[in-house]
């Protein structure tokens, strides 16, 4: 810990006089965009942005296989395996996560969860009963997410509902897809949550999630789910 702290402070001192600093790293097998002023308890409060660039192997090619026989290999933050695409213009830049085998616009996945983590079955198949609505919330893992990302959801074309960045939330889909006990998920820096309305009628419903990231890039995700009546 003392070694990390001394190195950290030395780096901060070296770049203190430079107005445009971006630090990038890897090895953690997570995707993170940490902004000035944030403190995640490891490196202290940041004076410049830090991007943890994820991994093309996800969590070391672990987990269940997809239809092509390739491990889905979600990273511990819940993002799929892939890579970052950067665009630079002088000292300005933007980035976007490109999940392997998916379009760059496919920038999130949407699941359900409860405080007791009870909806493993239902989040996979997109169905829950009327009596499960109370206490269930929507979980959006937004791969381009950060502190300054704005995320809203609407249900069946209704008014936008703000979603909050939730630093205490693991990704439910990745939780169930990672099969190696040594590669368990952890809290993610790009998960956003909002309560599911409790007054939904039985039938098919559609969630649309709109995202504006810190660069002004926009993304949209959709989840169709079924609410069952209780006999």
What pLDDT sits at residue 116?
A: 64
**100 near 80, Cβ under 8 Å?**
yes
Q: 189-201, pLDDT tens digit by residue?
A: 999 999 999 999 9
Query: Which CATH architecture group holds 2-228?
Result: Sandwich (2.60)
DSSP SS3 for 135: coil
Q: 157-186, pLDDT tens digit by residue?
A: 999 999 999 998 989 888 877 666 556 677
Domain boundaries, the chain: 2-228
Q: Across the chain, what does the average pLDDT equal?
A: 89
Q: Tokens 């190696």 belong to which residue?
A: 180
Q: Tokens 């559609």 belong to which residue?
A: 206
Q: For residue 84, count other CB atoms closer than 10 A to its CB.
A: 17
Backbone angles phi, psi at 175, to 5 degrees: -55, -40
Q: For residue 30, count other CB atoms closer than 10 A to its CB.
A: 22
What pLDDT sits at residue 198?
A: 94
Q: 6-53, pLDDT tens digit by residue?
A: 688 888 899 999 999 999 998 889 999 999 999 876 667 889 999 999
Tokens standing for residue 132: 């499960």
DSSP SS3 for 66: coil
This prediction has a pTM of 0.91
């Amino acid at each position: 810990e003392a070694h990390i702290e001394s190195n950290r402070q030395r780096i901060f001192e070296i770049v203190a006089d430079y107005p445009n600093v971006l630090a990038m790293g890897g090895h953690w097998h997570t995707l993170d965009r940490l902004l000035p002023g944030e403190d995640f308890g490891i490196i202290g409060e940041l004076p410049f942005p830090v991007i943890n660039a994820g991994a093309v192997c996800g969590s070391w090619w672990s987990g269940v296989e997809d239809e092509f026989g390739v491990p889905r290999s979600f990273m511990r933050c819940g993002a799929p395996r892939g890579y970052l695409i950067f665009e630079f213009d002088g000292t300005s830049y933007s980035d976007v996560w490109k999940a392997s085998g998916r379009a760059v616009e496919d920038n999130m996945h949407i699941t359900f969860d409860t405080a007791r983590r009870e909806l493993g079955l239902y989040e996979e198949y997109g169905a829950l009963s009327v009596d499960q609505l109370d206490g269930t919330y929507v979980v959006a893992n937004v791969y381009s997410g950060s502190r300054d990302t704005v995320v809203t959801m609407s249900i069946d074309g209704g008014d936008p509902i703000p979603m909050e960045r939730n630093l205490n939330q693991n990704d439910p889909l990745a939780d169930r897809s990672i099969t190696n006990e040594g590669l368990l998920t952890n809290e993610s820096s790009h998960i956003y949550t909002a309560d599911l309305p409790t007054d939904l009628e039985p039938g098919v419903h559609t969630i649309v999630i709109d995202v504006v990231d810190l660069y002004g890039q926009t993304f949209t995700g959709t989840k169709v789910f079924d609410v069952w009546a209780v006999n």
